Amino acid sequence: MFDFLEKSSNIPIEYYMWLSGILFSIGVMGVLMRRNVIIMLMSIELMLNAVNLLFIAFATFLNDPKGQVFVFFIMLVAAAEVTVGLAILTLIYRNTKSVDIDFLKKLKG
């Protein structure tokens, strides 16, 4: 276990940045390309979690606990956001019987 921790601290910070960058991009593409609202919500979560990973990596890299504290704030806000998002989705489902975003095109002009 400790051996593993020691070895993992040898991984350069850029690797973590690449990983979270790729995860973030997957999230962005998911929001932009998918039409199912639940999957879009998941993609947004993926974006936020990619940022969480980056914060943790930086906090370890800089040896500074503030970044880890920020992750808790992000998790809290993400939970609140998803709650509201799912509630709005439930409303829409009641009115349209669908979770497809393409049903939502009443507002135009």
Partner 1 sequence: MSAIITLSVLGILVLYLGIFNFKKVLLPVILLGLTVAFVLLATNTGNVLAADMHMLVFDAPARAFGCLLILITAGVFCLTPGNMEYATKFRQDVFGLMIFSLIGGIMMISYGNLITLFLGIETLSIPLYVMVGSKRSDLKSNEAAMKYFLLGAFATGFLLLGIALIYGATGSFDFRVIAEQCLTLQGNVSSWFEIGVLLLLIGLSFKVSAAPFHFWAPDVYDGAPTIVTTYMSTVVKIAGFGALVRFTRGGFPDMHVFGQFTFILAILTMTIGNFVATQQKSIKRMLAYSSIAHAGYMLIAIHCSTNASLVNIFIYAFAYSLASLVMFGVFMAIADKYELADIDSFNGLSKKNPLVAICAAIALLSMAGIPITAGFFGKYYIFASAIDSNYFLIVIIAMLNSLVSLYYYLKLIIAMFFKEGSNDVSEKIPALHYFVIFGCTALNILIGLYPNNLMMLF
Residues lying near partner 1 in the complex (CB under 8 A)? 13, 17, 24, 27-28, 31, 37, 40, 44, 47-48, 50-51, 54-55, 58, 61-62, 64, 66-67, 70, 73-74, 77, 80-81, 84-85, 87-89, 91-92, 95-96, 101, 104-109
Q: Least separation, in Å, of the C-beta of 86 and partner 1?
A: 10
Residue with tokens 């349209």: 96
| CB closer to partner 1, 1 vs 108 | 108
Q: Which is nearer to partner 1, 2 or 9 (CB)?
A: 9
Measured between alpha carbons, how far is 69 from 65 in angstroms, rounded to an integer? 7
Give least dist CB 93 to partner 1, A.
10
The smaller minimum CB distance to partner 1, of residues 19 and 28, is found at 28
Nearer to partner 1, 19 or 101 (CB): 101
Q: From 48, 44, 19, select the one nearest 31 (Cα to Cα).
A: 44
